[in-house]
Structure 1
Amino acid sequence: MFKVGDNIIYPMHGSGVIEGIEEKEIQGQTQKYYVIKIPMNALQVLIPIQNIEKSHIRSIADKLSMAAALDIFHHGESDLSLSWKQRYKINSDKMKSGKLREGAEVVRDLTRMQNDKTLNSSEKQMLVNAKKILVGELRLIRGITEVQATDLLEMTV
């Protein structure tokens, strides 16, 4: 599915690159693993090739998909009527999906809420992580710096 050098998005962790494919024996079982470097969290993870679909890892989006996500980010409606528990559950599910559009919605909605009132610590942390993931993907797709990607998001929230 992926090859060495591919840029990927690992839900809840951010953008990364497939650094290698290695065969390893873990707990007496030999399998092939993707070796993934995730710079955002200074992580290197091994994902069994046979489990890659369950992990929701995906290739980075194309420019058209990012443009559509940014349109939703800047112009989409936010549902501010939910309790924080409902909102947290919905946003957690969106982040776990790894879908670009859903991640953009989480950043949009939490940023708008933060502009109106103080977020609780769980939602603040979710916003920080979701924003890092979105900025990381935007940076890769557009070939821009992290500062430029952050500025692009903050223009019209």
Structure 2
Amino acid sequence: MFEVGDKVMYPMYGAGVIQAIQEKEILGKKQYYYMIHMPVVQLEVMIPVRKASDLGIRPVADPMTLDEILSQSAKEELDSSVKWNQRYRIYLEKIKTGNIQDEAEVIRDLAYRSKNKNLNFAERGVLNQAKQLFISELVLAKEITEIQAAHLLDQMTGKE
């Protein structure tokens, strides 16, 4: 169970801070909810405490883990014979896991691919979503600004 002040990652939404744990009655059912503030996307969410692990809520990665991930070099992209819609599904599933390493792989793979070929609309969307999730986690874990986090991500992808 998380506590007020804990920094957490909510897959597909981003990183946030638990502002409160409150009991609420919704549709006649009382239960406790995490009230999470997500500063990067300026979003407030309520997550039932008992469903947090099912939803993939996890602690934000520690700064050392993030540094290791940022220092890893780009891998080759997926087999070029894989169709774009299959790649899209693979990348989207990786993002849905909430695993920071999977997010980084999606970013590296698509950034590598974009250097050689134009990404289609769906792939650009997945890349942007993965970047936003990763940046939100960097901001909270390293206590830096969004701009600084984006800069670190650009260094990882070789954009600088």
- Is the TM-score greater than 0.5? yes
2:126 maps to which residue?
Answer: 126
2:10 paired with 1:10: yes
Structure 2, unpaired ranges of 5+: none
Shift of 1:141: 2.2
- Which residue type is aligned with residue 78 of structure 2? D
- Which residue type is aligned with residue 135 of structure 1? I
- Written as runs of structure 1 = structure 2, the 5 A alignment for 1:12-91 is 12-72=12-72, 74-81=73-80, 82-91=82-91
Q: Which moved more, 1:55-64 or 1:141-150?
A: 141-150
CA deviations on 1:62-109 (whole Å, 9 max, x unpaired) are 12321232233x343332422111111111111110000000011111
- Output the CA distance in 2 between the equivalents of 1:36 and 1:123: 29
The change in CA–CA distance for 1:70 and 1:76 in structure 2 (over 3 A counts) is farther
The change in CA–CA distance for 1:156 and 1:8 in structure 2 (over 3 A counts) is closer
Q: Normalization by structure 1: what TM-score?
A: 0.91
Percent identity of the aligned residues?
A: 42
Q: Normalization by structure 2: what TM-score?
A: 0.89
1:101 maps to which residue?
Answer: 101
- Output the CA distance in 1 between the equivalents of 2:103 and 2:2: 22
Higher helix proportion: 1
2:148 maps to which residue?
Answer: 148
SS class of match (1:155): helix
Q: Which moved more, 1:96-105 or 1:142-151?
A: 142-151
RMSD: 1.6
The change in CA–CA distance for 1:156 and 1:41 in structure 2 (over 3 A counts) is closer
| Contact 2:78–2:87, Cα closer than 8 Å, also in 1 | no
| Contact 2:94–2:102, Cα closer than 8 Å, also in 1 | yes
